[in-house]
Structure 1
């Protein structure tokens, strides 16, 4: 199915199937709504497009998944950040898990039966994955994992976790990846209270957690390669969804009667349009050869800049909405936007990557 037909038919289906969220905007409600939307789209086959038949998909390019997520974001059917986790985790399982394991588990995630999380960051090892200290030691047919993860999105809801741990010496080569069942004895999850008041992130403590040997993703020492393959997915289809959501918020800013400042609003629109054009190029690259590299750091910089400018403009043009209210979407989203230049790789690190790896400016 070509993209135009896919979008038209999907819109027609969404027009006749009400998947609108309820008035409850708590995190519990958002996660339940995400499962509801995925389940309905899976049962109607929309969620299957863009994935291979080996995991229950109907084939077609990743652009079909991008269109699906865009339409979901445009209609406000699911929060775009948690919706997009499948774009990070499913390609990883397809590429690195034993085929039978991927065939069994991926449909559970795509179909809304399960939620998964990603266990990478650690205290003191946020953007420097090579310094991870969580360790996995071989014990017969199992690996025994001990350590701590932090900033693990939705860990308190997750049935599985794609986990990085150290199985060898220091540096990149000593890292391996596992698919961990979150109900395994020895796992403690502690949600983190954040500035914007939503406990989306959690700490995960692992104390002698036994992981079956067939849950190793790839071979021992493949963890860094898996991470480098996974991270660009955060900046491709996921970003396409996020940009659609931010365009929605710009429309909402106008609908909420903001002060008519054409220069400020035009600057926000231009930032979003620039990020969207860059993301479209990334989508084409992904469709051409399925591989993305350091150039996605440009996407990260542009999106973070656009997001923060949008919410700065909302604060300026809706006086008091952010500062004088303890509740409301604008306040919550403004506070969350402060982290846009931190999570997923800080803006400073992204600029260093652009300078060193794209512009060949050296280390200084």
Structure 2
């Protein structure tokens, strides 16, 4: 199906199927709404487009998934950050999991039956992922894992975790990846309160957790390569969804009667437009089957700047709303935007990647 036809028919379906979130707020409600939306879209077929038939999909280009997420984000039917987890984890399973495991597990995520998480960062090993210390030791046909993860989004809701652990010596080649069942004995999850008041992140403690050898993703030592392949997916279709969400917030800023500052509004719009233009190029490369790489750091830099600019503009043009009204969504989203230059790789790390790997400027 072509994207124009897909968008037209999807919009028609959404007009006749009410997926409006309930009036309840909070992370529990957001996760429940996500499951509901995915379930209905899966049953109607929309969630299957753009994914291979081997995992329950209906085929077609990846652009169909971008359109679906854009329509969901524009209508505020699901929070775009947690909606987009499928765009990170499903391609990883397709590339690294045994075919039978991917065929069994991927439909559970796409259909909303399960939520998954990503166990990469550790205390002291955030942006410096290669220094992670969580260790997995082979015992018979089982890997025994011990260590700690942190900043693990939605771990308290997750049934599975794409987990990195050290199976060899120091450095990149000693890291392997696993698909962990989060209800395994020895897994403890403790949510973390962020400054915007949402327990989105969690610590995950792993105490002699046993993972079957069949849950190894790729071969031993493939964990670093998996991570380098996964991270660009965080900046591809996910960013398209995020940009659509931010455009809706710009519309809301105007609807809320902000001060008519054409320069400030124009600058915020231009930053979003620039990020969207860059994301278009990334979507086209993805549709052509190109492997995404360090060039997606440019996408990350542009989107983080655009997001912070937008909410800075909201703070300035809706005086007192962010500072004084604790109940407004503007306050929560403004505080969340402060992390845009930190999560998923800090702005400093992204600029270093651009300098070294794209511009060839070396380490100094």
Scaled to the shorter chain, the TM-score interval is: over 0.9
Which residue does the alignment assign to 2:235?
235
Alignment of 1:301-312 (within 5 A): 301-312=301-312
Pairing of 1:1-364 with structure 2 (within 5 A): 1-364=1-364
TM-superposition CA deviations, 1:246-277 (whole Å, max 9, x none): 00000000000000000000000000000000
Distance 1:249 1:17 in 2: 24
4+ long deviations beyond 4 Å: none
How far off its partner does 1:30 sit?
0.2
Q: How much has 1:290 moved relative to structure 2?
A: 3.6
Instruction: State the SS of the aligned residue for 2:114.
Output: coil
Q: TM-score, normalised by structure 1?
A: 0.99
The offset of 1:57, in angstroms, is 0.3
- Match of 2:350, SS? helix
Shift of 1:229: 0.6
Q: CA deviation at 1:168?
A: 0.2
Distance 1:109 1:290 in 2: 25
Gaps of 5+ in 1: none
Report Cα offsets for 1:120-172 as digits up to 9, x if no partner. 00001001110000000000010000000000000000000000000000000
RMSD: 0.5
Q: Distance in 2 between matches of 1:40 and 1:89?
A: 20
Q: TM-score scaled by structure 2? A: 0.99
- How many Å separate the matches in 1 of 2:363 and 2:180? 37
Alpha-carbon separation, structure 2, partners of 1:331 and 1:359: 38
Matched residue SS, 1:259: coil
- How many residues are matched? 364
Cα deviation, 1:152-202, whole Å, max 9, x if unaligned, reads 000000000000000000000000000000000000000000000000000
Structure 2, unpaired ranges of 5+: none
Q: Secondary structure, in 3 states, of the residue corresponding to 1:19?
A: coil
Shift, 1:361, TM fit: 1.1
Distance 1:74 1:302 in 2: 20
**SS of the residue aligned with 1:323?**
helix
* Cα displacement (A) at 1:289: 2.3
